[in-house]
């Protein structure tokens, strides 16, 4: 009958609709699962690239570090051998020449000692065993004396040095040796990457309950990408210029760690070809 046919057609339509609903549901689930898997794959790929980059940075870091250790040792060994040769041949070495060689040995010993101290202190800080000795210090006097002690070294490089402050005296609680070390690291870094005829400025500003120290240069500058990693361990910024200049890459890392231990902050503002500013902000008193 017509009634039975209608019922039959309705059942067929319902079956088709239910089937289509199942197909759509399965299709949606497949798409969701596919998208989820794709996102996981992208995430894993990014993680893999990050790990690969970190390992590459570690390798570069240790290669450069071994070079930095080997260079002064080679110099010391060569001069030692040279002096021995003078002794063997009973040749007379003039006081001037001996003084010259001793000066080279002294500089390379200092370089080696500084590098070893950086390695030791970096390890101590990483292991939370580094001790800072905070006392009340006049930060203006401390920074000015540290900078002026570097004046001859800076001028020997053909650079001009300016120190300026908006306050004559400002007492803060800090570890004198650590702050000196941070200033030396930042000024030394500025000297490395500023061409002859350039300018190094060290500025100190009173911010009431804080103090701001700025080390400014008009050197080669730092790219935005490298600014993000410049303080990171194993992420030494290496380019053609820095490879020529040398350095273990630990100086800026330790500087950030020491400033952090003082409950302060440090950051960089830079433009390639214009110069860089490293800014330290220290609290007047911190626990």
CA-closest candidate to residue 138, choices 211, 207, 201, 187: 211
C-alpha span between 266 and 138 (Å, rounded): 20
What is the pLDDT at residue 185? 92
Please tell me whether the overall predicted TM-score, pTM, comes out greater than 0.85 for this model: no
List the chain domain ranges: 1-130, 135-283
Q: What is the mean pLDDT of the chain?
A: 85
Residue 157's alpha-carbon distances to 60, 141, 151, 187, 245, in angstroms, are 28, 25, 10, 13, 13
What is the pLDDT at residue 229? 85
Of 223 and 42, the one with more pLDDT: 223
Looking at domain 135-283, which CATH architecture does it have? Answer: 2-Layer Sandwich (3.30)
Q: Is it the case that residue 44 has pLDDT exceeding 60?
A: yes
What is the pLDDT at residue 22? 84
Of 250 and 162, the one with more pLDDT: 162
The domain defined by 1-130 carries CATH number 1.10.287.130: yes
Of 164 and 83, the one with more pLDDT: 164
- Is residue 61 within 8 A of residue 232, CB to CB? The reply is no
- Is residue 188 within 8 A of residue 255, CB to CB? The reply is no
Q: Compute the average pLDDT of residues 218-223.
A: 93
Which residues contact residue 161 at a Cβ distance below 8 angstroms, ignoring those fewer than 6 apart? 147, 150, 151, 154, 155, 199, 200, 201, 202
What is the pLDDT at residue 56? 67
Q: Compute the average pLDDT of residues 25-43.
A: 85
- Is residue 202 within 8 A of residue 213, CB to CB? The reply is yes
What is the pLDDT at residue 247? 54
What is the pLDDT at residue 232? 81
C-alpha span between 283 and 210 (Å, rounded): 4
Mapping DSSP to helix (H, G, I), strand (E, B) and coil, where does residue 137 land? strand
- Is residue 139 within 8 A of residue 172, CB to CB? The reply is yes
pLDDT one-digit tens code per residue, 75-129:
888 888 887 777 776 667 778 888 888 888 888 888 888 888 888 888 898 889 9
Sign of the Cα torsion 169, 189, 126, 114 reads negative
Of 3 and 144, the one with more pLDDT: 144
Query: Which tokens sit at 21?
Result: 């609903």
Which of 18-22, 141-145, 183-187, 245-249 is predicted with the least confidence, judged by mean pLDDT? 245-249
What is the pLDDT at residue 272? 93
pLDDT one-digit tens code per residue, 171-209:
999 999 999 999 999 999 999 999 999 999 999 999 999
Position 257 confidence tier, pLDDT thresholds 50, 70, 90: very high
Which of 35-39, 182-186, 208-212 is predicted with the least confidence, judged by mean pLDDT? 35-39
Report the Cα–Cα distance between both ends of the chain, in Å, rounded.
95
- Is residue 253 within 8 A of residue 260, CB to CB? The reply is no
DSSP 51: H
What is the pLDDT at residue 244? 46
């Amino acid at each position: 009958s017509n009634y039975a046919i209608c019922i039959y057609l309705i059942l067929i339509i319902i079956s088709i609709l239910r089937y289509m609903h199942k197909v759509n549901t399965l299709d949606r689930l497949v798409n969701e699962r596919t998208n989820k898997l794709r996102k996981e794959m992208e995430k894993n790929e990014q993680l893999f690239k990050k790990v690969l980059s970190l390992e590459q940075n570690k390798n570069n870091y240790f290669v450069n570090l071994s070079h930095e250790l080997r260079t002064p040792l080679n110099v010391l060994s060569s001069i030692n051998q040279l002096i021995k040769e003078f002794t063997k041949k009973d040749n007379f070495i003039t006081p001037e020449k001996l003084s010259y060689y001793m000066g080279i040995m002294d500089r390379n010993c200092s370089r080696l000692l500084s590098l070893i101290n950086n390695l030791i202190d970096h390890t101590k800080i990483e292991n939370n065993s580094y001790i800072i000795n905070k006392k009340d210090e006049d930060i203006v006097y401390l920074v000015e004396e540290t900078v002026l002690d570097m004046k001859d070294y800076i001028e020997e490089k053909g650079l001009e040095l300016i120190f300026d402050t908006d306050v004559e005296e400002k007492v803060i609680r800090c570890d004198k040796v650590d702050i000196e070390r941070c200033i030396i690291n930042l000024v030394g870094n500025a000297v490395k990457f500023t061409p002859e005829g350039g300018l190094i400025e060290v500025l100190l500003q009173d911010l009431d309950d804080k103090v701001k120290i700025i080390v400014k240069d008009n050197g080669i500058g730092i790219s935005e990408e490298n600014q993000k990693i410049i303080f990171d361990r194993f992420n030494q910024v290496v380019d053609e210029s820095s490879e020529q200049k040398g350095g273990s890459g630990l100086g800026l890392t330790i500087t950030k760690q020491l400033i952090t231990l003082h409950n302060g902050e440090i950051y960089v503002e830079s433009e390639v070809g214009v110069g860089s500013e490293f800014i330290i902000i220290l609290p007047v008193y911190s626990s």
